[in-house]
Every structure is written in C-alpha cells, then in structure tokens.
Amino acid sequence: QVQLVESGGGLVQAGGSLRLSCAASRSAISRYAMGWFRQAPGKEREFVAAISRSYGSTYYANSLKGRFTISRDNAENTVYLQMNSLKPEDTAVYYCAAKPSPVGSRYYTGRNDYDYWGQGTQVTVSS
C-alpha cells in the first residue's frame, strides 16, 4: 500500500505562492488517481483538486479555479499543488490522497473515494 508524505507548507503573505509536494513510497503513484483536500479549524475537510491516473485529467473546486494547479510526476513518484494568489481563507491543513484506479481519465472529488491519506501540511496565509 502507498504511503504519502506532504511537504511545502508554511507561512506566506496574502498574494504569495506556495508549492506543496506529496511524495509517495512503497508503491508507484502511477497506479493511483490522486487528490488534494484541505481542512480549516472547525471546518470539515473539503476537496481542492484531483488528477486522474492517466491522461492528466484534472478537476478543481470552483472557488479555486485559476489559482491552484495540480500536477503529477510519475517518474518522481510525486504529486504537486501549485497555489498562487493565496488568500487568508486558504489557511488550512492540506492533505493529499490516493485511490487505486484503472487506467483512464477519471478523477475523484469525494473524501470517501480515497483509500490512502498523508498526514497533512499546514498552510497559513497572513493578511
């Protein structure tokens, strides 16, 4: 089973950028559809972005389109989340997740769709 470790979080001023990484071990991410979620204090974990196992199909939460970009590098066994024009409301713990998936362009947006999760990385955006 795959293990996921997020990194790249930190403190950034509003308007700044961060790139989160999700490094996988024990299994190749090329076998998985991948996603990013976030959870702010006192709120439920919410969907951020997803990418299919094959063909690079992506999907984003409506409120984040145009600011966040998900990508994957199967050779590096890593998934990325590029976050631009950050806002204080983006402050949250960000989690990556993996779902074993057949070859294809399907992506997944539900928390319960995913089987494996990382421990999360904190992103704090100051105003």
What local confidence, expressed as pLDDT, does residue 65 receive? 81
- pLDDT at res. 10: 97
Average pLDDT per block of 10 residues along the chain, 127 residues long: 96 98 95 98 97 95 93 97 97 98 94 98 97
b/e string for 25-50 if b means 16 or more Cβ within 10 A?
Answer: eebebebbbbbbbbeeeeeebebbbb
Look up residue 35 and give its two tokens.
């996603």
